[in-house]
Chains A and B, each alone.
Chain A
Amino acid sequence: MDLSAFISLTPQLIIASGVVLAMLLVAWQRSQKMIAYFTTLILLMAIIATVNAMGGEKTFITTLLAVDDYSRYAFILVLVSSLCCVYLSTLTLCQGVEVHDEYYLLLLLVVLGAGILIVSEHFASLFLGFEILSIALVGLVGYFRQSQFSVETGFKYLILSASASSFMLLGIAFIYAQTGDLSFSHAVIEQANITLYASLSQSVLYQLGFILFFAGIAFKLSLVPFHYWTPDVYQGASTPVTLLLATVSKCAMFIVLLKCCFTASHFSLIQGSNVFSFIAWLAILSMIVGNCLALKQQKIKRLLGYSSIAHMGYLLIVVLLGNLAGIDFAWQSVLFYLSAYLLANVSIFTVLTFDDKLAKGDAVTIDSWQGLFWRQPLLATLVIFSVLSFAGIPLTAGFIGKFYLVSFAADHALWSLLAALIVGSGIALAYYLPIIFALFCEPQSTPEENVQREITLADKSVVSLYIALGFVLGIYPDVIGKLLQQL
């Protein structure tokens, strides 16, 4: 392991050392403000280090990890969304008298886990990252122990991620039994390798192993039928933590899934056997069921939980890559879609956090946003942008993301998935539009409602930044598209 390997791993190392330093900081002085600033600083440094390394070669760090530009870009996404999450956390945490150092520590651990997942090139490192991410998230989900649902939520998430990882371990064991190899990099995705693995793909144990492994990931991505935890955990966790679940965890999981599927062995397995239809059904079910379940929801966080199921279903299309020529475009599609999805999530969760302060423990419902456009036009505009982006309507980044996915699916002739995508988006409108309509309703003037919520200048500028970003990405997607092409 030489110096260049260390250098390319710098961002992850920064985060790791940040975790240790944060612990020292806690031992030295407990201060609400200091730890928040420290976490922000660490994340900023990691972002700078990653941006700086962009454009580099694919570097292997032992057989376990490999850093390339796709993973760098994905890590930037993770870092930026956790930065937004830190910002929202400061808003939520400032209410109590308690000092919440552990919270930020856990948050950094989540980022570290995601960072390892994104660069992992081996089932062992994948599992390591998976566990760091999960355990830290369990801590965060149950963190606010005074709140009504914290024990229930924490337990649900703990048990489900534990069972997910045991599924995954068993799957990995089966795969190892058949291939004798846990590394992704040994089976570089080339035509020669694919034909080499073609015979192996008929092995039932191998197929079973891969399906079990996939199920483990599917728990985390909350694909149907592994989605039961999602709405409860989304609703029960505090809003910044939910944001973390929705962005960092899902993004990292998906990237590693893609890395794993885009190897010669798994590619030939997916193409050559029933695994293809397994994944396709998972995707179709997630799109339809996720959207249908979201229809009757009144609580925004629950609704977003269900809609995230559908979004992961849309993304899963990319896993069903049909030919090797499309691999770059697949990465571009996923990274663009994730960027748009993360932006939309960050936007809507920002508004949710602002509202949490007012709702005092009750979950924010669609009704509580009634007339928001006339009271707080800026916040409402942000909500409109993010909801339209979720729904994939032009003028927003979400539409371009969907355009990428539809292009991908059309290029690879995945017609049944396209049909599910169209039906799913149609159903989705039936719950996205009422949110927007509620914003435009005449506000009900109850006396308590008339208390204007405090929005500082900093909040306003953050909100305007998100709006501008969403608009630019929707109108001129080349900003990211060009960048992704060069990766």
Chain B
Amino acid sequence: MIITLLILALILSGALSWFAESRKSGSAKMVALVSSLFLALSFIVYLLSSHNDFSQLVLLADVSWIDTFNIRYSIALDHLSNMLLLLTFLLLLVAVLISWREITHRVGFYYFNLMLTIAGIVGVFTAVDLFLFFFFWEVMLLPMTALIAIWGHENKHFAAIKFFIFTQVSSLLMLVAIIVMAYLHQQQVGQLSFAYQDWLNLKLPDELAYYMMLGFFIAFAVKLPSFPVHSWLPDAHTQAPTAGSVLLAGVLLKTGAYGLIRFVIVLFPQASTEFAPIAAILALVSILYGAKMAFAQTDFKRLVAYSSISHMGFVMLALFSFNANAFQGAIITLVAHGLSSAALFAFAGMIYARIHSRDLAMMGGFWKSAPLMGGFALAFAASAFGLPGLANFVGEFFSLIGSYQRFPVITIFAALGIIGSAIYGMMLFQSSFQGPVKHSFIDLSVREGFIAISLFSALLILGLFPNLVFQFTFNGGL
């Protein structure tokens, strides 16, 4: 029930802030901030007071929706979705705060779209009826595309269309796979079913299972994104408004990884084991290619975007190693990357607000005028390249340890990606904050400082006490 209420409340508060803005300009962001704080707190309170054991999926709602196809509205939570939801709410707050000054036109509608995106994402992380999952999967796309297309930068329409077509086509493949699974259930049990729990009991014919797995895998690999279906990401990230990039990198990419964890490796253990070598090679290519491309960029946001491809490669490599260590590592990497890349995009937005450029050639010597900002930027860059003590290190370390047992050669090459990330991370920092002074501007404001501190402390806590999240039941693969 709580999740349904949260989704409804997100939609309503989005509508409310749209309405409020039309009455009194400047009120939309207040409404959005207050309501997202309230919703985040109520979710935390729910988690603390709940007596459910979230180590397995706990079904929270299950009502009939479309009887014709036996589609049910069913929502469930476990540790994985809880943690991703917490991340989502944290980044929602960041997104609202980072848009505070940046968005100056159509403000009400902007916050409406922002809230709607989050509502869709919450649905994706909790739905356990596959039709419902697909529904939310698409619903989160629409407002996200609107965010890019309306409030984006110079080439926004192209980026938005590219983003939409990539995800839409790949998700149609997933839709086909979902439908075939439902009909398979009809063959074996006698009635259609889209329920995740029912599908776990299906006996899948080998060859069919492989194709079904591919259908799901492609949809999630596009979202992750993995080489060779990554090319929407740099464009979408670069053109999106700052909050859009934060959400894209912070949570939308995680929906791809979530799909791999929840559906691909659990529903099709046999097929994904067979597929694992290919997935591992794709992951390796993503890691190295992403790192190389990041190094070659001159655009701040594009660089961070390519680094995301590289980091998500580690997640995929770890997931397809079918190993408890790697699994835990993948999940920590997810969260850590969500925090650190969101922080870097937020910094890109802050710099853009000051010098109206994302071009690294236009930057330099910011440290002189803004040491606090420089300090945080260094910390986040260091976190991105895996400095021990911060969460990314733990995640990548465990991922590599786990996957070494299965793919030793690939893992050795993948470890090179960490060196690459150190190189581009330092390049990013040096060309913007060090060197000759090209601009001088005011340091972090209180609002921006709050964003930086909250993201950094989350990274630090997870880095020092990774046991906080080491509680996932590993049930992936063979």
A residues with a Cβ closer than 8 A to B are 332, 374, 388, 393-395, 399, 403, 406-407, 410-411, 418, 421-423, 425-426, 429-430, 433-434, 437, 440, 442, 476-478, 481-482, 484-485
Query: A residues within 8 A CB of B19?
Result: none
Query: A residues within 8 A CB of B176?
Result: 406, 410, 418, 422
Segment from B156-164, B281-289, B431-439, B460-468 that makes contact with A: B156-164
Residues of B156-203 at the interface with A, using a CB-CB cut-off of 8 Å, are 157, 160-161, 164-165, 168-169, 172-173, 175-176, 179-180, 182-183
Query: Who on chain A is nearest to B169 by CB?
Result: A426
In the assembled complex, the Cα of A346 lies from the Cα of B120 at a distance in Å of: 29
In the assembled complex, the Cα of A426 lies from the Cα of B160 at a distance in Å of: 14
Given contacts A406-B175, A411-B183, A482-B68, contact A434 B168 (CB under 8 A): no
Q: How far is the CB of B172 from chain A (nearest CB, A)?
A: 5
Partner of A434, one of B68, B157, B172, B183: B157
Query: A residues within 8 A CB of B65?
Result: 476
Query: Who on chain B is nearest to A433 by CB?
Result: B161
Given contacts A425-B169, A425-B172, A440-B150, contact A481 B161 (CB under 8 A): no
Q: A422-B173, A477-B68 are in contact. List 13 more A-B contacts (CB 8 A).
A: A332-B68, A393-B138, A394-B135, A406-B176, A422-B169, A425-B168, A426-B172, A437-B160, A440-B146, A478-B68, A481-B69, A482-B68, A484-B68
Q: Does B134 contact A (CB under 8 A)?
A: yes
In the assembled complex, the Cα of A383 lies from the Cα of B439 at a distance in Å of: 46
Q: How far is the CB of A328 from chain B (nearest CB, A)?
A: 12
Q: How far is the CB of A339 from chain B (nearest CB, A)?
A: 14
Query: A residues within 8 A CB of B157?
Result: 434, 437
Whether A422 pairs with B179 at a CB distance below 8 angstroms is no
Query: B residues within 8 A CB of A395?
Result: 138-139, 142
Q: How far is the CB of B325 from chain A (nearest CB, A)?
A: 38
In the assembled complex, the Cα of A482 lies from the Cα of B64 at a distance in Å of: 13
Query: A residues within 8 A CB of B343?
Result: none
Whether B66 pairs with A478 at a CB distance below 8 angstroms is yes
Partner of A429, one of B66, B164, B173: B164
What are 7 A-B pairs at a CB distance below 8 A? A374-B106, A410-B176, A433-B164, A437-B157, A440-B149, A477-B66, A481-B68
Query: B residues within 8 A CB of A406?
Result: 172, 175-176, 179
Q: How far is the CB of A352 from chain B (nearest CB, A)?
A: 23
Q: Does B206 contact A (CB under 8 A)?
A: no
Query: Who on chain A is nearest to B162 by CB?
Result: A430
Whether A429 pairs with B168 at a CB distance below 8 angstroms is yes
Query: B residues within 8 A CB of A442?
Result: 105
Query: Who on chain B is nearest to A481 by CB?
Result: B68
Query: B residues within 8 A CB of A403?
Result: 69, 175, 179
Partner of B179, one of A332, A399, A407: A407
Query: Who on chain A is nearest to B183 by CB?
Result: A411
Q: How far is the CB of B130 from chain A (nearest CB, A)?
A: 12
Q: How far is the CB of A471 from chain B (nearest CB, A)?
A: 13
Query: B residues within 8 A CB of A425?
Result: 168-169, 172
Those 7 A-B pairs whose CB atoms lie nearest each other, nearest first? A481-B68, A426-B169, A394-B138, A422-B172, A410-B179, A429-B165, A410-B180
In the assembled complex, the Cα of A476 lies from the Cα of B71 at a distance in Å of: 11
In the assembled complex, the Cα of A174 lies from the Cα of B48 at a distance in Å of: 77
Q: Does B67 contact A (CB under 8 A)?
A: yes
In the assembled complex, the Cα of A425 lies from the Cα of B168 at a distance in Å of: 9
Query: A residues within 8 A CB of B149?
Result: 433, 437, 440
Query: Who on chain A is nearest to B137 by CB?
Result: A394
In the assembled complex, the Cα of A381 lies from the Cα of B142 at a distance in Å of: 14
In the assembled complex, the Cα of A477 lies from the Cα of B176 at a distance in Å of: 19
In the assembled complex, the Cα of A374 lies from the Cα of B108 at a distance in Å of: 12
Query: Who on chain A is nearest to B184 by CB?
Result: A410
Q: How far is the CB of A42 from chain B (nearest CB, A)?
A: 34
Q: How far is the CB of A11 from chain B (nearest CB, A)?
A: 27
Partner of A394, one of B139, B160, B183: B139
Q: How far is the CB of B336 from chain A (nearest CB, A)?
A: 32
Query: B residues within 8 A CB of A422?
Result: 169, 172-173, 176
Against A, the Cβ 8 Å flags (1 = close, 0 = not) of B201-225 are: 0000000000000000000000000
Whether B69 pairs with A407 at a CB distance below 8 angstroms is yes
Query: Who on chain B is nearest to A431 by CB?
Result: B161
Partner of B165, one of A388, A411, A426: A426
Q: How far is the CB of A41 from chain B (nearest CB, A)?
A: 35
In the assembled complex, the Cα of A478 lies from the Cα of B138 at a distance in Å of: 20
Query: A residues within 8 A CB of B142?
Result: 388, 393, 395
Query: A residues within 8 A CB of B134?
Result: 394
Query: B residues within 8 A CB of A440?
Result: 146, 149-150
Query: B residues within 8 A CB of A374?
Result: 106
Whether B183 pairs with A407 at a CB distance below 8 angstroms is yes
In the assembled complex, the Cα of A476 lies from the Cα of B69 at a distance in Å of: 12
Q: How far is the CB of A81 from chain B (nearest CB, A)?
A: 23
Q: How far is the CB of A266 from chain B (nearest CB, A)?
A: 26
In the assembled complex, the Cα of A485 lies from the Cα of B164 at a distance in Å of: 34
In the assembled complex, the Cα of A407 lies from the Cα of B145 at a distance in Å of: 27
Query: Who on chain B is nearest to A329 by CB?
Result: B68
Given contacts A394-B135, A410-B176, A411-B183, contact A429 B67 (CB under 8 A): no
Query: A residues within 8 A CB of B105?
Result: 442
In the assembled complex, the Cα of A426 lies from the Cα of B219 at a distance in Å of: 14
Query: B residues within 8 A CB of A433?
Result: 145, 149, 160-161, 164
Q: How far is the CB of A452 from chain B (nearest CB, A)?
A: 18
Partner of B161, one of A332, A421, A430, A478: A430
In the assembled complex, the Cα of A388 lies from the Cα of B164 at a distance in Å of: 12
In the assembled complex, the Cα of A410 lies from the Cα of B176 at a distance in Å of: 7
Q: How far is the CB of A335 from chain B (nearest CB, A)?
A: 12
In the assembled complex, the Cα of A406 lies from the Cα of B142 at a distance in Å of: 21
Q: How far is the CB of B355 from chain A (nearest CB, A)?
A: 25
Query: Who on chain A is nearest to B66 by CB?
Result: A478
Q: How far is the CB of B173 from chain A (nearest CB, A)?
A: 6
In the assembled complex, the Cα of A480 lies from the Cα of B168 at a distance in Å of: 26
In the assembled complex, the Cα of A100 lies from the Cα of B138 at a distance in Å of: 46
Whether B67 pairs with A482 at a CB distance below 8 angstroms is yes
In the assembled complex, the Cα of A425 lies from the Cα of B175 at a distance in Å of: 13
In the assembled complex, the Cα of A332 lies from the Cα of B68 at a distance in Å of: 10
Query: A residues within 8 A CB of B106?
Result: 374
Q: How far is the CB of A418 from chain B (nearest CB, A)?
A: 6
In the assembled complex, the Cα of A399 lies from the Cα of B142 at a distance in Å of: 14
Q: How far is the CB of B202 from chain A (nearest CB, A)?
A: 15
Against A, the Cβ 8 Å flags (1 = close, 0 = not) of B97-138 are: 000000001100000000000000000000000000011001
Q: How far is the CB of B169 from chain A (nearest CB, A)?
A: 4
Whether B179 pairs with A485 at a CB distance below 8 angstroms is no
Query: B residues within 8 A CB of A388?
Result: 142
Q: How far is the CB of B294 from chain A (nearest CB, A)?
A: 28
Query: B residues within 8 A CB of A421?
Result: 172
Whether B68 pairs with A485 at a CB distance below 8 angstroms is yes
Q: How far is the CB of B177 from chain A (nearest CB, A)?
A: 9
Query: B residues within 8 A CB of A430?
Result: 161, 165
In the assembled complex, the Cα of A425 lies from the Cα of B146 at a distance in Å of: 19
Interface centre among A410, A430, A477, A478, by most B CB within 10 Å?
Answer: A410
In the assembled complex, the Cα of A421 lies from the Cα of B169 at a distance in Å of: 10
In the assembled complex, the Cα of A471 lies from the Cα of B386 at a distance in Å of: 47
Query: B residues within 8 A CB of A423?
Result: 169
Query: A residues within 8 A CB of B69?
Result: 403, 407, 481
